Amino acid sequence: MVGTNYQCACSRLYTGDNCQTLKRCVVPDGSEMLLAGGGTPLQREYDVNTRLEFSCRNANHIIEGNVYSTCLFTQNWDRPFPTCVAPAGRCPNLVAPQNGAVRYSDNRKPPDTIALFSCDDGYNPIGDRRVLCQVDFQWSGGAPTCQLSGCNVFQAPPGITFPLGIEHAVGALIRVDCTDLFHRLSGGPSSIECLGRNQWSTDLNSYTCGP
C-alpha cells in the first residue's frame, strides 16, 4: 500500500519544524535609550501583534522618529524604532491623543511655541486644547484625551416626552414617555441607550403614543 505524505502548515503565530515556536520580533541594536509603554525597559524580543509606544530614558531627551511600532507576522517591525536626542533649544515632540492630532505654531518648537490639539469627528477633548513651550524647554501641560461624543435630542416626536438640549453620555439610558399619561407608548422599549456620536439604540422617531 502506498502511503500518502501530508505537509502541515503552521498558523501565522508559530514557526519551527513542529510549529512549536511562537513568532517574535527582535528589538534592534541601538535602542538602549528607549523605554516601552509605562516607562518599562525594552525586552530583547516581543510576541507578534505587540504594539510598543516609546519614550526616552532621559526625560529631557526628545524622540526623533516613530512613537509607535508593531511586531508583524513576518517577525519584522512595521516602523523603524526612533532615537532619543538631547534637546537643542526646543521642546520635545508631543504624542497626539488617541483619536486626535497635534500641530505646532512653529515646527521647530522653540520657547513660546503653541501646541494645538484636536480630536477626530465624533470625539470631544477632555483637558487643555493648547499648551505652551516654556523657557525651560518643557511644555506647560500634556495632551487631552479624546472622548467619544454623546447624544443630543433637540426635538421629540409629537406626543413624546424626552429630555431635550442635553448631551447624554455614552451608555446613558434615557426613558421615553408619552406626554399624555393615559396614552400608551409604542414603537420601541421604554428606555433607549446613547451609543455615541449622536446615535441611539432605538430611533426616537419610531415612537408613537396613542390611546
Domain spans in the chain, listed from the N-terminal domain onward: 14-85, 100-148, 160-210
Say if residues 53 and 66 touch (Cβ distance below 8 Å): no
Write the pLDDT tens digit of every residue in 57-66: 887 788 889 9
The bridge status of strand 145-148 relative to strand 123-126 is antiparallel
| CATH class of the domain defined by 14-85 | mainly beta
The bridge status of strand 21-22 relative to strand 24-26 is unpaired
Q: Assign domain 100-148 to its CATH superfamily.
A: Complement Module, domain 1 (2.10.70.10)
C-alpha separations of 82 from 43, 51, 92, 189 in Å: 16, 14, 13, 53
Instruction: Please provide the CATH number assigned to the domain covering 160-210.
Output: 2.10.70
Residues in the chain: 211
This prediction's pTM: 0.45
How far apart are alpha carbons 100 and 53 in whole angstroms? 16
Beta bridge partners of 185: 209
Residue 30 dihedral angles phi and psi, to the nearest 5°: 85, 15
Average pLDDT estimate for 49-75: 90
Residue 74 pLDDT > 60: yes
14-85 and 160-210: same fold?
yes
Give the pLDDT of residue 70: 96
